[in-house]
Amino acid sequence: MIELEMQKVTLGYDHHPVLEDITLKVSPGEMVGLIGPNGSGKSTIIKALSRVISPESGRILVDRRKITDIPRRELACMVGVVPQLPLLPSTFTAFEIVLMGRNPHLGLFQSESKRDWAIAWQAMEKTGTDELANRRVNELSGGEIQCLLIARVLVQETQAILLDEPTANLDIGRQVETLDLIKKLCTQKNLSVLAAIHDLNLAVQYCDRLLLINERRIHAEGTPREVITDKNIKEVYGAENCVYTHPVNGLPTVLLGAHRNNTIGTQSWR
Amino acid sequence: MSSSPLSIKPPGGTYLSGRRTRIYSLLGLSAVLIVVIALATSIGSVHIPLLTTFRILVAKLPLLDISQTWQSAIGTIILEIRLPRVILAGLVGAALATAGATYQGLFRNPLADPYLIGVAQGASLGAVTGFLLPVTWNIAGFGLIPLLAFAGALLSTATVYLLARVGKTLPVTTLILSGVALSALLGSIVSYLIISSGDKMHGIIFWLMGSFSLSQWSEIKIVLPYVAVGTAVIIIFARLLNVMQLDEEQAQQLGVNVERQKIILLVAATLITAASVSFVGTIGFVGIIIPHAVRLIWGADHRFLLPLAVLTGAIFMILTDLVARTVLAPTEIPIGVITAICGAPFFLYLLRRRKKAIF
């Protein structure tokens, strides 16, 4: 079980700060949602927690160890990432891409064993991508690639998973299937999951805790009920009076254009 | 879903049979290489039957006792004149194809070739300087021209590397652009030196287009260690090179130390290229096209791509050198001319036949 932690972290590109003084923690068995407007720094947090970028100040801890003290291969056995729809090399097949998730578990002179193939194949079955196995990835749709990347992170067998917009290109059926799967793994295997999610309603449904990011800081944090309020949504997104209570599960739900002079879109684009 | 992980069949025979096909292809190409070596050794101005050639070659192997039935002059032609030439051609072909595949993979760019970051122009400038200097020199087979070519190749690549470095990282695009710019600079100096070289012009141009006509065992002794070690290092890292075909970010998140890996692969590929071109000139085409042809036929997995490129590059270079020295015999055609004339039509055929994504 692995705990992810940021202590007073400032992140930026070329000394231009994107996020300042961020403190957060993701514990095993917990699914935390990162929400916030475009450009608020959700992906930046994911990059920092996978050591693609280094913080300008503050400390990042993975399993209570400083992230910079962990060799990259070991880190990749602890923390897996589903990136935001990347370009994949067109000449590889879907199965080969998924199998690359085994890379951190293999020594320099090792090659994938039958066991590694079986792990990859199982992950593809779980994510419904098994039928794509022999297709080249340039023939696949955005949604299919997203499912493949979920399969790849399962193959990586990490205790912590970071997801950057894992459902952005999926139809609603696949959105629910994917998040159900991640949620199930999170609770069953005590994984620490941090997911950047644009769709507030999905975030509310699936996350135990939400972090609302705006203007380089954490604007609000807590349970979905505490974070998704008329006040927070108006302050961050500029949309007024759009939070309702879900008629079945009682969770907050964001509905646009229902009534009460909705003014989304008036906030200037940063 | 209910069975244990080990009993689950990996997907489709396609992946497995693809691996099997490529393993058989490796074995098949190794056999072809041996035949091509013997064939190329037997053909030349003095006709020597293929069988005799085989006997002479095999007699050199340890543990085999074959009685000598041929004239010793024939043995000398085979072992001291033709064989070193064939072996050097094979080595250089293998090296250029491997380096090309490595650069293409490292830069994720289908236009990359072994000369992209300054090796060729650096080697050319070194060699041309060697031609123009009024001295000659020979230390253990390392003549002045190869020595200066080798030094030039390494110096120019090192310069490109230092220019491209940004802090602790080496952005690939900056590296390519620095390479192209420095190559242009060195290239224009080379052009000026050629124009003002007077009666040495023919020799210089012949060197630039490449030739194996001066091959000797002493050269092989120098080139072989570079090519063997460099190629081995690259092949060891083939799986990581596959992961690096994703972007650098994903490669890092899958446990690859991308910056370190880039430097290891760059150094290895540059050394094998520099060692090769120093002795035989800047032979073009092989380094860019052989990797693509291999990729078209056998796929993009570097664990197969690289060894298959070694064999294909060697076979291709031996055959083109055979054409270069026999077609207009006793005149030799520069091999750089032949590589493209023979290779381009075949490559275009492959390209037309297979219309799916090739890179």
Say how far apart CA B200 and CA B3 lie, in whole Å: 75
The string of DSSP codes covering B131-171 is HHSS---EETTEEHHHHHHHHHHHHHHHHHHHHH-BTTB--
Residue A158: the pLDDT is 96
Q: Which residues 102-161 on chain A approach chain B with CB closer than 8 angstroms?
A: 103-104, 106, 108-109, 111, 114-115, 117-122, 124-125, 130, 133-134, 136, 138, 156
Closest to A78 measured CA to CA, from A51, A114, A45:
A51
Residue B21: the pLDDT is 87
On whether both A215 and A247 belong to a single domain, the answer is no
Domains: count for chain A: 2
Query: For A228-265, how does the pLDDT look when each residue is reduced to its tens digit (9 = 90+)?
Result: 999 999 999 988 888 888 888 889 999 887 655 544 54
B260: chain A residues, CB-CB within 8 Å = none
Encoded amino acid at A17, one letter: P
Task: Determine the average pLDDT of the residues in B67-81.
Answer: 82
CATH number at residue A178: 3.40.50.300
CATH number at residue B219: 1.10.3470.10
Q: How many CB pairs under 8 A join A and B?
A: 114
Cβ–Cβ below 8 Å for B249 and A86: yes
On whether both A147 and A84 belong to a single domain, the answer is yes
Pick from B11, B240, B357: which is nearest to A121 by CB?
Answer: B11
Residue B216: the pLDDT is 85
Say how far apart CA B92 and CA B277 lie, in whole Å: 8
**Domain that includes residue A239, residue range:** 229-270
Q: What percent of chain A has pLDDT over 70?
A: 95
A74 in Cβ contact with A252 (< 8 Å): no
Helix (H) or strand (E) holding A96: helix A94-99
On whether both A66 and A120 belong to a single domain, the answer is yes
3-state SS, A20-66, equals EEEEEEECCCCEEEEECCCCCCHHHHHHHHCCCCCCCEEEEEECCEE
- CA quadruple B210, B213, B219, B220: dihedral positive or negative? positive
Say how far apart CA A220 and CA A210 lie, in whole Å: 8
Compute the nearest-CA separation of B303 from chain A (Å): 10
Pick from B253, B303, B357: which is nearest to A91 by CB?
Answer: B357
Band (B144; pLDDT cuts 50, 70, 90): confident
Edge to edge, the sheet with strand A57-62 lists A16-26, A4-13, A57-62, A65-66
On whether both A22 and A124 belong to a single domain, the answer is yes
Q: Token match 């229902």: residue?
A: A258
Query: For A138-181, how does the pLDDT look when each residue is reduced to its tens digit (9 = 90+)?
Result: 889 988 999 999 999 999 999 999 999 999 888 999 999 999 99
- CB proximity B255 to A under 8 Å: yes
The string of DSSP codes covering B287-310 is HHHHHHHHHHHH-S-HHHHHHHHH
On whether both A53 and A121 belong to a single domain, the answer is yes
Q: Residue A245: beta bridge partners?
A: A252
Cβ–Cβ below 8 Å for A90 and B12: no
Cβ–Cβ below 8 Å for B253 and A80: yes
On whether both A165 and A100 belong to a single domain, the answer is yes
Query: For A170-222, how does the pLDDT look when each residue is reduced to its tens digit (9 = 90+)?
Result: 899 999 999 999 999 999 999 999 999 999 999 999 999 999 999 999 999 99
Domains: count for chain B: 1
On whether both A44 and A177 belong to a single domain, the answer is yes
B295: chain A residues, CB-CB within 8 Å = 91
B138 has a pLDDT exceeding 80: no
- CB proximity A44 to B under 8 Å: no
| Residue B285 falls inside a structural domain | yes
Angle at A12 between CA A11 and CA A13, to 5 degrees: 150
Closest to B94 measured CA to CA, from B214, B218, B234, B211:
B234
More confident of the two residues A13 and B142? A13
On whether both A72 and A31 belong to a single domain, the answer is yes
Say how far apart CA A50 and CA A153 lie, in whole Å: 13
Say how far apart CA B208 and CA B115 lie, in whole Å: 13
- CB proximity B166 to A under 8 Å: no
CA dihedral angle for residue B184, residue B189, residue B195, residue B200, rounded to 10 degrees:
-110
On whether both A140 and A238 belong to a single domain, the answer is no
Band (B9; pLDDT cuts 50, 70, 90): low
- CB proximity A48 to B under 8 Å: no
| Residue B11 falls inside a structural domain | no
- Rounded mean pLDDT of chain A? 90
Among the residue ranges A42-56, A86-100, B4-18, the one predicted with the least confidence is: B4-18
B236: chain A residues, CB-CB within 8 Å = 108-109
Residue B137: the pLDDT is 67
Q: For residue B77, give the DSSP letter.
A: I
Cβ–Cβ below 8 Å for A134 and B12: yes
| Tokens linked to B249 | 């970010």
Cβ–Cβ below 8 Å for B255 and A73: yes
- CB proximity B257 to A under 8 Å: yes
Residue A270: the pLDDT is 40
Residue B313: the pLDDT is 96
Pick from B246, B257, B303: which is nearest to A89 by CB?
Answer: B246
Pick from A80, A100, A121: which is nearest to B243 by CB?
Answer: A100
Among the residue ranges B77-86, B181-190, B243-252, B259-268, the one predicted with the least confidence is: B77-86
Closest to A196 measured CA to CA, from A163, A231, A149:
A163
Say how far apart CA A129 and CA A143 lie, in whole Å: 11
B254 in Cβ contact with A88 (< 8 Å): no
Residue of chain B nearest A153, judged by CA positions: B254
B40 has a pLDDT exceeding 70: yes
Query: For B105-132, how does the pLDDT look when each residue is reduced to its tens digit (9 = 90+)?
Result: 999 888 888 998 999 999 999 999 988 8
| Residue B7 falls inside a structural domain | no
| Tokens linked to B20 | 């099997």
Residue A79: the pLDDT is 97
B321 in Cβ contact with B315 (< 8 Å): no
Say how far apart CA B40 and CA A133 lie, in whole Å: 44
- Rounded mean pLDDT of chain B? 87
| Tokens linked to B42 | 């037997």
